[in-house]
Amino acid sequence: MKKTILITGASRGIGAEIARAAGKADYKVGVNYLGSKAAAQALVREICDSGGEALALQADVSRLDDVERLFCELDAAYGPLDVLVNNAGKLANFRVDTTDESNLSGLFGVNMFGAFYCSREAIRRMSHAHGGKGGCIINMSSVASRLGGLSGGAAYAASKGAMDAFTLSLAKEVGLEGVRVNGLRPGLIETEIHEMHGGLAHVRELAKSLVPLGRSGTAAEVAAVALWLASDAASYVHGAVVDVSGGR
């Protein structure tokens, strides 16, 4: 029987690559997006044209009412959830001395509140304590959580540090209820999210001096680790935060 996976923020970048890999691995794939409807629908068509099964689901994960609707729509289409990937994220660029309520709450709303809200709904469906059959939650962090962000990236780094702490705490909370929880910390990965920091050419140049492997990574390399964490091959991996960063 096919398993169901939901990937938040999956219309592009790492999320889209995880969705592609999940489709090839015979998951029923929930592709969540915020505003990029055309990109999400194109990804769904790509997965389906390759023999997979996928559905585009719009929701703002920083809003609890949207998250509740998102999970209800997934329930109706695909039934019980097996894997949640909390991938939706926002990369902000502002100094601490320019912080205001709007830019800070917007960043943490997506990067942390969204992970809490989606995990809440997933646990209510997966946990043995709620009558579920178990499952897996994967939280997308960043090496910025332990290295600090680039210039203007203090808030982003802080949100990812919070994600690491959340991953470890949640693993302790639901481990005996059949839910495995792990995190992923990508490093310099070639995605469009880096456009505000000089684009892919700048990322590749940075990698030559900052990354022990001497190169930037790809979204496909991160996706491969995510699918492994979701698989039975990682059945004793719990409460881990795995670096996918070329040794950085």
List the catalytic residues.
Answer: 156
Sheet containing 4-7, strands listed edge to edge, beginning at the edge strand earlier in sequence: 53-58, 28-33, 4-7, 83-86, 135-140, 179-186, 241-244
CB 163 within 8 A of CB 107: no
HEC letters along the chain: CCCEEEECCCCCHHHHHHHHHHHHCCCEEEEEECCCHHHHHHHHHHHHHCCCEEEEEECCCCCHHHHHHHHHHHHHHHCCCCEEEECCCCCCCCCHHHCCHHHHHHHHHHHHHHHHHHHHHHHHHHCHHHCCCCEEEEEECCCHHHHCCCCCCHHHHHHHHHHHHHHHHHHHHHHHHCEEEEEEEECCECCHHHHHHCHHHHHHHHHHHHCCCCCCECHHHHHHHHHHHHCHHHCCCCCCEEEECCCC
